Structure 1
């Protein structure tokens, strides 16, 4: 049977109230008493119950994180930053996989409510009205990462997707490319689909290139989707000399498909990705891409959430910088 707080109090020769004060770092006891309590905790292997502890300090020292795909490299890097920040502040992280269409989101919000988490981070997905209303009723801080909110009380941390896509296309243009295609996410995706398509087309227009002649195909933000879209693009527009893929997994799908079809990268087809996942360095050739500081975004989102939990003060939304990382998949056209 697990040790209880009463067992700790008995072994240390103090009251249950004193044990509780020591464990919750509250004043009102001597260093000698503190040492007795901590020694008893160690000897008995006592594990304080987070919910019971929360009755004293009004917190469970846990935060919930919701991802549409926990297993993706994108989510993994963001989660790394979140967990680092949480651990530094003595918090634990409960991770929920809401599925690609977010169909499990309401279920997991109920789970997190029951676990009495102190705050929630939502990644990538759209903050639907039903989610917002549920979160508002929960009455706990919320921060979005790699997403955007139209609600003034919900701060977010993300890259400016329109500008980043603009810069990716501009980079290809400056390398001498004039026939450029795009493998995008879904056009109806207001978080990462539509803004990146708009940024790509804006760069073409600003540099005097015909927007209507630039093919844009949906790669569904996946390797398989990138392969399928790349094959279709190369069949429809063989004159294309460069492709902007709005996600590294899709970009690697483009490289793989080009290789399979006998199209040399970058000699015949240049490719630039988006994200700068670890996979980008592992591809062959190594992928030139637009870097999002994913781990840093996760850390910043967690820091904003924890500050809100600790102080109750509102946090501002923040765009983080991006940059083009040059590797080996873009060649210059003379």
Structure 2
């Protein structure tokens, strides 16, 4: 197949070619239809494209598939004929996108690894957006990367498009790339993999962190630290790191490498209050820090509890910010200033981008849509005056001294 073929319709074009094979060979009901391997060899396509083409014909009721036996011509062609016996055009048949379901609503799957406060909000927003676009949303939780791969391959034969939230992955999903290559509509949400020819809808992590550090600077802070999870090629983490650096540089504040900590223990949503020697060592080694911007709310919570154990007060001694505005941000003893990621707008644009792909819109090139973030300012950020805070001595002495 030539490189000029519109990949957005590749598997549908393959399905149309299978139809012509059925007619040319004058196949009868229950006769075998060319297999995925045969179609791949015939048309120079991938096995995944061939699979999607046969799955599409199966959903339209044209063929039926038996595990480990193959694909066969269906008994009736009613799914392809009008009441007067004339053939339904390919475009009309495709519009039903699942003929056996007997409706015109698009089915969208959302694949994600875990339900937490953020992803739960996202699920709710996606459900609302899907309804607004007259589509049906189904949810699939993936236990790990292998389960995610299996889920993507299975869902491709059950739904019309897939939204993927690939949190925790450091590399692009091979199954997602294969689906995209075959023309199946798939959009990644809130995780961008550099160099991958995919459609992405993400929050603008760079601008969010830039604005947060700028807010610290406006509040008088100049000794500003940054705590992050290891980057390892994850774009959202990398973009927040770059936003931190750019904000300092734009405001002529020297970047100090010792003020940056990449915590090797990956984001923990349940043990952020436990002792962290790495973080404690970071704060002890950088006593001049008056503010710390963190790559997510859980890291900020870990910094908060570490500071408390070191007898540092937030925000009097150390202003603090997180990222994502999870429920935790409001539950800390000192409510956390953070960067909010609006779920509603992300969901609306993600569903819209996916539907555009389903309808063949948007051209061949992959698109990246960035959603604006906003700062939610709470009690963990204080104005820095540069005046040392008076701290009481232990009760036995009764004296006060400068901290």
Q: TM-score, normalised by structure 1?
A: 0.74
RMSD after superposition: 3.2
Cα distance in 2 between the residues matched to 1:62 and 1:243: 44
Q: Which residue of 2 aligns with 1:326?
A: 377
1:278 Cα deviation from its structure 2 partner = 2.8
CA contact (8 A) 2:105 2:135 kept: no
Instruction: Give the 3 Å change call, closer, same or farther, for CA 160–243 of structure 1 in structure 2.
Output: same
- Answering whether residue 158 of structure 2 is matched by residue 112 of structure 1, we say no
Cα distance in 2 between the residues matched to 1:275 and 1:122: 19
Cα distance in 2 between the residues matched to 1:299 and 1:95: 19
Q: Which residue of 2 aligns with 1:173?
A: 217
Instruction: Give the 3 Å change call, closer, same or farther, for CA 266–27 of structure 1 in structure 2.
Output: farther
Which structure 2 residues correspond to residues 247-266 of structure 1 after superposition, within 5 A? 247-266=296-315
Q: Which residue of 2 aligns with 1:220?
A: 266
Instruction: Give the 3 Å change call, closer, same or farther, for CA 214–328 of structure 1 in structure 2.
Output: same
Q: TM-score, normalised by structure 2?
A: 0.62
Cα distance in 1 between the residues matched to 2:300 and 2:313: 14
* Larger Cα-atom Rg: 2
Q: 2:283 aligns with which of 221, 227, 234?
A: 234
Cα distance in 1 between the residues matched to 2:273 and 2:207: 22
- Answering whether residue 324 of structure 2 is matched by residue 280 of structure 1, we say no
Aligned residues: 285
CA contact (8 A) 1:113 1:138 kept: no
SS of residue in 1 equivalent to 2:236: coil
More helix by share: 1
SS of residue in 2 equivalent to 1:65: strand
Cα distance in 2 between the residues matched to 1:127 and 1:112: 21
Q: Deviations over 1:213-261 (max 9, x none)?
A: 4232326333446863532322332221111011112212222232233
CA contact (8 A) 2:152 2:176 kept: no
Q: 1:317 aligns with which of 368, 372, 395?
A: 368
CA contact (8 A) 1:241 1:268 kept: yes
Cα distance in 1 between the residues matched to 2:83 and 2:221: 68
Q: Which residue of 2 aligns with 1:154?
A: 198
Instruction: Give the 3 Å change call, closer, same or farther, for CA 27–86 of structure 1 in structure 2.
Output: farther
SS of residue in 1 equivalent to 2:129: helix
Cα distance in 2 between the residues matched to 1:152 and 1:214: 32
CA contact (8 A) 1:288 1:326 kept: yes
Q: Which residue of 2 aligns with 1:38?
A: none
Cα distance in 1 between the residues matched to 2:379 and 2:116: 24
- Answering whether residue 214 of structure 2 is matched by residue 163 of structure 1, we say no
CA contact (8 A) 1:243 1:271 kept: yes
Cα distance in 1 between the residues matched to 2:347 and 2:267: 20
Gaps of 5+ in 1: 1-16, 21-25, 29-49
Which structure 2 residues correspond to residues 180-191 of structure 1 after superposition, within 5 A? 180-191=224-235
- Answering whether residue 140 of structure 2 is matched by residue 95 of structure 1, we say yes
Higher mean C-alpha displacement, 128-137 vs 189-198: 128-137
Instruction: Give the 3 Å change call, closer, same or farther, for CA 231–299 of structure 1 in structure 2.
Output: farther
Instruction: Give the 3 Å change call, closer, same or farther, for CA 283–331 of structure 1 in structure 2.
Output: same
Instruction: Give the 3 Å change call, closer, same or farther, for CA 70–87 of structure 1 in structure 2.
Output: farther
1:268 Cα deviation from its structure 2 partner = 0.8
Cα distance in 2 between the residues matched to 1:150 and 1:259: 38
Cα distance in 2 between the residues matched to 1:226 and 1:204: 29
Q: Which residue of 1 aligns with 2:125?
A: 81
